[in-house]
A and B are shown apart, each in its own frame.
Chain A
Amino acid sequence: MKLYKLFILFIGCWPVTAQTFFEGKIIAKENTETIAISGANVYWKDTKVGAISDSNGNFELEIVPNNNNLIISYLGYKTDTLSVDLSKRLIHFLKEDPEAALAEVTVTQKQRTLQKSVYQAQNIVTVNKDELLKAACCNLSESFDTNPSIDVNFSDALTGTKQIRMLGLTSPYILFAEENIPSVRGAAQAYGLTFTPGTWIESIQITKGAGSVVNGFESIAGQINTELIKPFAAQPLFLNLYASANGRVEGNIHFTAPVGKKWHTGLFIHANQRNQKVDRNNDGFLDMPIAEQLNLLNRWQYTDAERGWVGFLNFRLMEDHKQLGQVEFNPTASTDGIWGSELSTQRWEGAMKIGKVNPILTYRSWGLQAALSYHQQESYFGLRIYDINHKSSYINLLYNSIIGNTNTTLKSGINFYFDTYEEQVDEVNWLRTDQGIGGFTEISQTSEKINWTLGMRIDIHNNLGTFLTPRFHLRYTPFETSIFRASAGQGRKAANIFAEQQQQFGTNRSIQIRNTDGVFYGLEAEKAWNYGFSWRQILLRGPKQADITFDYYTTDFEKQVVVDWETPGAIKFYNLEGESYAKSFQVAVDYSPSAQWDIRLAYKNYQVKSLYDSGFKQMPLQPKNRFFVNVGWESKTTTNGRQWRWDATWHGVGSQRLVASPRDGQGRWAPAYNLINSQLSRTFSSDFEMYLGGENIGDYRQVNAIISAEQPFGPLFDSAQIYAPIFGQMTYVGLRWNL
């Protein structure tokens, strides 16, 4: 104890004995940053007593008698003579000497194209425009190829549609929103992602896990929000053309213009076509459909920054037509005995948004969103018929404020939703109306180390009853470089078994719905809890960046509609009676060794199991393991804006369980395979660039993609058992031009 006191005394006395030294720090301003000046000469005037500042700008100098005139000099800066107070530590700014200034060196840090949230409680990855350019083609469904959080599968051997999965769950379990208005749902579930052209997208936010309650109760695995380009910020005239070796041609034109002082408008036109009949695998069926789409969007944007008003009006029209099936099929001629199919979709949408931010109390705002949509699909697949008409309306009123101060924010609001579905499945008609009202409140608390968001909503729904949806997200940052996140939340949805599982119509399986007492085709609504944990560790910061992220998410279904493909010749839908879960683990490393290079590695493991009639099994066509590598490189931009960009993605897809069939037999697993995509872009100026790319460069193809292709009207015909691409290597070229 005494020794301890003595020690304190000693420490206390120490500065007194050190008074023969004078200390200080030499710094300077570089642009807006303060930097330490190391190597500055510091000496007493007219003496030889001097020192040199260290790497932190600090120096220590012996005091000489009767002299307090200090001279500080450093190359490139003005030499200063100061008369200093010897008892105080000096902090001195050097001023740049304009005459002696050395050539300026600017260090700019590149923004990452995939940005993971650091401060938010939710696990959100933002995909920005530069990242979207890496996958040059062509619509929202193809925008996730370079992103390890999202898996892309193939839905069937006929339509060429790509299916999105997150945490091992298919897209119906993901809540899609377009500018926070739910989209790609109901009738649009199967093909809706192909109805948003890639050039229209400004950014995508991917939330893993339950997510916010603001946009509804339907999200179970996560949420994907798409922000479209804003007329205010877009180029007045933009042109994009694309052509691929398999006969796909796409064109996009955007016009934007100011209208008056406060309005901006934009007209976005997209058209695509594929008119070549391709059957590389010689099974008599088209590898890709013959297709055409016309898509129009007119946006109006209103901004009055002074009074804090913002508004949007959107009008959208879309027509899509696909022809698939056997090569010799001709829809206009009599084609007895030839299997053919056509899908025609028409969709229009109108949406508006008004928001008002209090100009003084900027944390206080309210917003009103309203959307109407009409979606009509008419289709036949051989002898089967599937028509769906979905009318939807949605209103959301939202209020933002704070509790105490801006560290605690409050979001509160009401949703109204109204959907009518009219479906014809072969000879059966189904009619349904879903309507309801929901009220929600979300409180977020922010502090340096801990953030949390607690959301709760109550819905009164004609078919789902009255229920609560709780969701909770937590972020904990014990050190600046470690970010831990945890989340828990509930979600529910009605399974639109026909619209979501349209690949069933490309089979001759008989549709069997076992339950009869539920509201949704006799089945019950789905209900699940999602829990997640994530740890992101930042390993390197500065010019070299590296981090590693571990994610573990589990979704436990309390109620689920089991889609059972296990019996050849039948597809069965029944209420889950037992266990069903999706557990996913992901480890991802992001590494940027320099501003030019970007490397992403990921390993993913999925345990997606349900109790089927035939036992507790992994979901068919769901790889247990997936590997992902993406390498991106870009050259330094020259003064006239020229640049090269290159990137390559490797997907290692592990083996997938196959259902019993005459092709695969019983208990077989599909082989693991690799997919490589790559793209090279050349920017000629800030206004013009061209790109050249290749998909599936290794040319891996699934053989015998269609089961019983030789007997398309037989009971075993099945085009839905797809685990790999059917179309092989494909090259494409394109250009982007800001006029």
Chain B
Amino acid sequence: MKYMRTFFIIWSTLLMASNAYAQKKLSKNQQEKFVVLGNCEMCKKRIEKAALTVKGVKMAQWDIPSKILQVVYNAQKIDADQIHLAIAQAGHDTRLHKASDVIYAELPLCCLYERLNIE
């Protein structure tokens, strides 16, 4: 009986420890939402395409009215910053990275958005 109790304590400690470890472990299906500046259907294609070019991004959906991009990515492989960067390099500002003026100026007319400071 005593052994049983000891075993149970050790077993539950191990379980909790592994649980804590699992929580620290980065998710393979990390979801994140952030604002990306853009206007139209064409921007939507450009933004989603730019996000998906980052290997490890599984899904990218940009909503035109709210300007919110929803991404699912493998956080064990990449971090969100890389996605922000790829999108900024395609000409669309995010909270973490701004598109260069040169790339911005080359956007198609319908995609020229008002450059704001976003939080």
Interface residues of B in 25-65 (CB under 8 A from A): 29, 31, 39-40, 49, 52, 55, 57-61, 64-65
Are B72 and A27 closer than 8 Å at their CB atoms?
Answer: no
**Interface residues as binary, B88-119 with A (CB distance below 8 Å gives 1, 0 otherwise):** 00000000000001001100011111100000
How far, in whole Å, are A27 and B110 apart by their CA atoms in the complex?
Answer: 10
A448 to B112, CA, bound (A): 22
| Closest Cβ neighbor of A89 among chain B residues | B105
A638-671 interface with B by 8 A CB criterion: none
SS of A interface (majority): strand
Cβ-neighbour of A32 out of B40, B61, B72 (below 8 A)? B40
State in angstroms the CA–CA spacing of A402 and B112 once bound together.
32
Contacts between the two chains (Cβ within 8 Å), count: 57
Chain B residues within 8 Å of chain A by Cβ, number: 24
If A29-B114, A34-B110 touch, whether A406 touches B31 (CB-CB below 8 Å) is no
The answer for the CA separation of A496 and B79 in the assembled complex, in Å, is: 59
How far in angstroms is the closest Cβ of chain B from A444?
Answer: 15
Instruction: Give per-residue flags for A7-38: 1 if the beta carbon is below 8 A from chain B beta carbons, else 0.
Output: 00000000000000000010101001111100
**Whole-angstrom CA separation of A35 from B57 in the bound complex:** 33
Establish whether residues B29 and A360, one from each chain, have CB atoms under 8 Å apart when the complex forms: yes
Query: Chain B: interface secondary structure?
Result: mixed
How many angstroms between the C-alpha atoms of A539 and B96 in the bound complex?
42
Whole-angstrom CA separation of A57 from B61 in the bound complex: 31
With most chain A CB atoms within 10 A of its CB, the pick from B49, B52, B58 is B58
| A103 within 8 A of partner (CB) | no
Let me know if A34 and B52 touch, CB within 8 A: no
Among candidates B29, B58, B59, B109, residue contacting A56 with C-beta atoms closer than 8 Å? B109
Q: Are A362 and B59 in contact (CB under 8 A)?
A: yes
A361 near B58: Cβ-Cβ < 8 Å: yes
Cβ-defined partner of B58 (8 Å) among A27, A35, A91, A405: A405
Hey, which chain A residues are within 8 Å of B65, CB to CB? 32
B40 to A: closest C-beta gap in Å: 6
Query: How far apart sit A93 and B116, CA to CA, in the bound complex (Å)?
Result: 12
CB of B72 within 8 A of CB of A360, answer: yes
Partner of B59, one of A27, A33, A35, A402: A402
Which among A34, A362, A363, A448 has the greatest number of chain B C-beta atoms within 10 A? A34
Question: Which chain A residues in 301-318 approach chain B with CB under 8 Å?
Answer: none
Query: How far is it, in angstroms, between the C-alpha of A30 and the C-alpha of B114 when the chains are bound?
Result: 13
Identify which of residues 442-476 in chain A touch chain B, using a CB-to-CB cut-off of 8 Å. Answer: 448
| Chain B residues packing against A (C-beta within 8 Å) | 29, 31, 39-40, 49, 52, 55, 57-61, 64-65, 72, 101, 104-105, 109-114
Can you report 30 residue pairs joining A to B where beta carbons are below 8 Å apart? A25-B112, A29-B39, A32-B39, A32-B40, A32-B65, A33-B39, A33-B40, A34-B39, A34-B40, A34-B110, A34-B112, A34-B113, A56-B109, A93-B114, A360-B29, A360-B31, A360-B72, A361-B31, A361-B59, A361-B72, A362-B59, A362-B61, A363-B59, A402-B59, A404-B55, A404-B58, A405-B57, A405-B59, A406-B58, A407-B52
If A27-B112, A32-B64, A36-B109 are given as contacts, then 16 extra A-B residue pairs at C-beta distance below 8 Å, sorted by A number, are A34-B109, A88-B101, A91-B112, A93-B114, A360-B29, A361-B29, A361-B58, A361-B59, A361-B72, A363-B58, A363-B72, A402-B58, A405-B58, A405-B60, A406-B59, A406-B60
